């Protein structure tokens, strides 16, 4: 089976748009359509349903998708293994990241890694926490970043860094001039919460539970699935919230929000890097796995604790 056709199918299945696939692969749209038709003829099935509303995967297309990912991944592994014999660390790393703080740190870490290993290409895939493990197991990602340790069979974890969660309020909020607030003060505040699957929310509710405060006791003004959106909403004066210190660092420096110390809550969480335990030789992955705790990166891994501390 022609790997180029599979790669075209894979990009088309992800974008559901032949024009987008053509731009990404530097080919013409007719060429993309031609390869898809050829692949459908070879397999004897339709992979896409073409309607006035756009492209949709057929049942056959959905079945082919994980296998196409696996075949493309394995072909890249073969290329990387052969190239590694030349004593260069080369390859292509896909890192699935579900934590807001990880999305701030990973690009900086990846930049430093590329300076040391310029023949390794890195893609950081933003996804929700429930999608990290499937992407690893389906070999769509080499590494994952999660706000919990992975105990699933076939996976292994290592601590990445410790993330600090802080309480933020608008700059003119009554709490902005207080030295600290108590957990019970939250009962009288409009609170903006992360979505139910967020690690930030899990840590917060666990700590509040130690003070006999449940989610139902809070006045939840909004639920948002994006930390940056929460910071902006707090800055606009619509409530208080708990976010990773990194996601609030710019707003803290600009003083559009303020950090409010809250007594009695231990709002820290460990963030982990995860990979498949049984893996074909991949020198690029091994190098990155070790690189994250290289002494030269200590300043980055302290950022979640230190950023904004003086604000």
DSSP secondary structure, the chain, as one string? --HHHHHHHHHHHHHS-HHHHHHHHT--HHHHHHHHHHHHHHHTS--EEEETTEEEE-HHHHHHHHHHHHHHHHHHHHHHHHHHTTT---EEEEEEE--HHHHHHHHHHHHHHHHH-TTEEEEEEE--HHHHHHHHHTTS-SEEEESS---STTEEEEEEEEEEEEEEEETTSGGGG-S-B-GGGGGGSEEEEE-TT-HHHHHHHHHHHTTT--GGGSEEEEEES-HHHHHHHHHTTS-EEEEEHHHHHHHHHHTSEEE--BTT---EEEEEEEEESS----HHHHHHHHHTT-GGGHHHHTHHHHTTTT-
Is 84 a member of any domain?
A: no
**172 and 301 share a domain?**
no
**154 and 294 share a domain?**
yes
User: What would the pLDDT profile of 92-112 be if each residue is shown by its tens digit?
Assistant: 899 999 887 788 889 999 999
The CATH number given to whatever domain includes residue 110 is 3.40.190.10
Is 82 a member of any domain?
A: no
- Pair of tokens at residue 191: 């609170």
φ/ψ (deg, to 5) at 88: -105, 140
pLDDT band at residue 311 under the 50/70/90 scheme = very low
> Could you tell me the residue range of the domain that residue 201 belongs to?
163-269
pLDDT of residue 189: 95
Nearest partner of 296 among 108, 158, 144, judged by Cα: 108
Is 78 a member of any domain?
A: no
Burial of 248 (0-12, 13-18, 19+ CB in 10 A): buried
**288 and 155 share a domain?**
yes
**Chain centre distance of CA 196:** 16
Mean pLDDT of 251-262: 94
> What's the mean pLDDT when you consider all of the chain?
88
**167 and 249 share a domain?**
yes
What lies within 8 Å, CB to CB, of 280 at 6+ separation is: 77, 81
The CATH number given to whatever domain includes residue 27 is 1.10.10.10
Is 50 exceeded by the pLDDT of residue 310?
A: no
Domain final residue pick, 34, 68, 102: 68
- Pair of tokens at residue 129: 């926490």
Instruction: Give the residue, 190 or 299, on which the prediction is more confident.
Output: 190
**167 and 265 share a domain?**
yes
Q: How many domains does the chain have?
A: 3
pLDDT band at residue 281 under the 50/70/90 scheme = low
**168 and 45 share a domain?**
no
- Beta-strand relationship, 143-146 and 120-126: unpaired
Is 90 exceeded by the pLDDT of residue 241?
A: yes
φ/ψ (deg, to 5) at 96: -85, 125
The terminus-to-terminus CA distance of the chain in angstroms comes to 58
**157 and 290 share a domain?**
yes
DSSP per-residue letters across 212-241: T--GGGSEEEEEES-HHHHHHHHHTTS-EE
What angle (nearest 5°) sits at the alpha carbon of residue 276, between those of residues 271 and 280?
A: 140
Mean pLDDT of 169-198: 93
Is 77 a member of any domain?
A: no
Nearest partner of 149 among 129, 128, 126, judged by Cα: 129
Is 143 a member of any domain?
A: yes
Q: Which range has the worst mean pLDDT, 76-85, 121-130, 194-203?
A: 76-85
Is 233 a member of any domain?
A: yes
Is 81 a member of any domain?
A: no
User: What would the pLDDT profile of 22-73 be if each residue is shown by its tens digit?
Assistant: 998 989 999 999 999 999 999 999 999 988 878 899 999 999 998 888 888 8
pLDDT of residue 83: 64
- Pair of tokens at residue 269: 């969480």
User: What would the pLDDT profile of 149-160 be if each residue is shown by its tens digit?
Assistant: 888 888 899 999
**167 and 154 share a domain?**
no
pLDDT of residue 87: 61
pLDDT of residue 205: 94
Q: What is the pTM of this model?
A: 0.66
What share of the chain in percent tops pLDDT 90?
56
Is 110 a member of any domain?
A: yes
How many Å apart are CA 170 and CA 252, to the nearest integer?
10
pLDDT band at residue 127 under the 50/70/90 scheme = confident
**105 and 230 share a domain?**
no
**151 and 275 share a domain?**
yes
**168 and 265 share a domain?**
yes
**229 and 99 share a domain?**
no
């Amino acid at each position: 089976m022609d790997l180029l056709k599979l790669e075209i199918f894979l990009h088309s299945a992800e974008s559901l748009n032949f024009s987008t696939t053509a731009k990404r692969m530097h080919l013409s749209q007719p060429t993309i359509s031609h390869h898809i038709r050829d692949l459908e003829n070879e397999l004897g099935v339709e992979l896409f349903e073409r309607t006035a509303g756009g492209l949709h995967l057929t049942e056959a297309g959905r079945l082919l998708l994980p296998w196409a990912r696996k075949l493309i991944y394995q072909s890249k592994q073969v290329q990387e293994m052969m190239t590694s014999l030349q004593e260069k660390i080369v390859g292509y790393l896909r890192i699935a990241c579900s934590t807001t703080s990880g999305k701030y740190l990973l690009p900086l870490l990846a930049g430093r890694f590329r300076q040391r290993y310029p023949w390794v290409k890195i893609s950081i895939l933003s996804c929700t926490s429930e999608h990290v493990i499937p992407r690893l197991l389906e070999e769509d990602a080499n590494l994952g970043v999660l706000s919990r340790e992975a105990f699933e069979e076939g996976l292994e974890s290592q601590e990445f860094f410790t993330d600090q969660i802080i309480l933020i309020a608008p700059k003119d909020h009554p709490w902005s001039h207080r030295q600290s607030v108590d957990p019970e003060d939250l009962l009288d505040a409009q609170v903006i919460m992360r979505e139910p699957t967020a690690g930030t929310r899990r840590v917060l509710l666990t700590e509040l539970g130690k003070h006999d405060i449940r989610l139902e006791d809070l006045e939840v003004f909004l639920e948002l699935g994006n930390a940056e959106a929460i910071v902006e909403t707090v800055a606009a004066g619509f409530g208080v919230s708990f976010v990773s210190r990194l996601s609030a660092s710019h707003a803290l420096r600009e003083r559009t929000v303020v950090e409010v110390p809250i007594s009695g809550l231990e709002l820290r969480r460990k963030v982990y890097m995860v990979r498949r335990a049984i893996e074909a030789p991949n020198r690029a992955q091994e190098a990155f796995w070790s690189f994250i705790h290289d002494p030269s990166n200590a300043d980055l891994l302290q950022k979640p604790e230190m950023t904004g501390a003086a604000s």
